[in-house]
Amino acid sequence: MDIAILIVVFVACLFAVRLAFELIDSYRKEYRMDFTSTARELNRFFVNVAPSRIVLIAAIMGGGLGYLAGSWVLAIGLALSGIFAPKIVLSIWKGIRSQQFDAQLMDALILLGNALKNGLDIVAGIELISTNMKPPISEEFGLVLNAYRLGKPLDEGLIDLTKRIDSRTLETIIYAINIQRDAGGNLVKTFDQLITTIREESKLQKKVSAMTSQGRTQVYFLAAFPWVLAVVFYVMAPEMMRPALENSYGQIAILVIIVWEIIGILVTKKIVTVEV
């Protein structure tokens, strides 16, 4: 009977180990594909830093912070989180670049509209944007122009632009341009209408942003208040707070709290953000 139990346990352990290795191998392949995709995306956004270097820097910084804090749990947790650093960097940089692009979009639209009024075609207008305006909008339209010169249809190049830049205004402009080019409509009149519409939408967005500013402020306050309170308690009564920082279970609890607070911030921010 004991031998039978040992055999069953041994087989179960072998199955568990094999399953674990298969899962690790599957995740490794998926991560490698994702890693390659992230590297391509970073190049498309003119970030000349290899993802492997970003992972290494993030791991060293995380491990160093954990070491300085005297917590091996924190050091290991932050170091391992470095594998997600390229995706995080890409997401943050894409958001920053999209905001910068949006801020320049009205000027680019006016320049393109004036080019059409002066008898130039839309390709010449895009060339004016890529040569006369500052990055990132000049770089992005430069990519569209290069793709067009290499043989890609202009409408496909413009649609690719909407995939790189997260902007509803840009999507509206690109689809309006493509529809008018296919239908043979008056592009000059279309651009005048687009400029008027985008100006009104910009005014509405600023009004909505002002109305929801209180909600965003509350999110930041609620996120920062517990940690400010923890620092105050640590200064006033360090003997009460020190066990949570020095004990492994306390450190794990703090990491869990940080993760859940980040989730709470993201969810709350999504609630108070109103898209026009």
pLDDT number for residue 273: 65
Q: Is the pLDDT score of 262 beyond 60? A: yes
Q: Report residue 224's pLDDT band, with 50, 70 and 90 as the boundaries.
A: confident
Give the model confidence (pLDDT) of 122-152 as tens digits. Answer: 888 888 888 888 888 888 888 888 888 888 8
Cα 50 to the center of its chain, rounded Å: 17
Which range is least confidently modeled, 36-40, 58-62, 150-154, 163-167?
A: 36-40
Give the model confidence (pLDDT) of 6-25 as tens digits. Answer: 666 666 666 666 666 666 66
Q: Is the pLDDT score of 27 beyond 60? A: no
Residue that has been written with the tokens 């999110």 in this structure: 219
pTM of structure:
0.61
Which range is least confidently modeled, 152-161, 205-214, 216-225?
A: 205-214
Higher-pLDDT residue of 176 and 208 is 176
Q: List the chain domain ranges.
A: 94-210, 212-272
Q: Is the pLDDT score of 88 beyond 80? A: no
CA dihedral sign, ordered 260, 262, 268, 274: negative
**So what's the architecture of 94-210 in CATH?**
Up-down Bundle (1.20)
CB-based contact 118:150 (threshold 8 Å): no
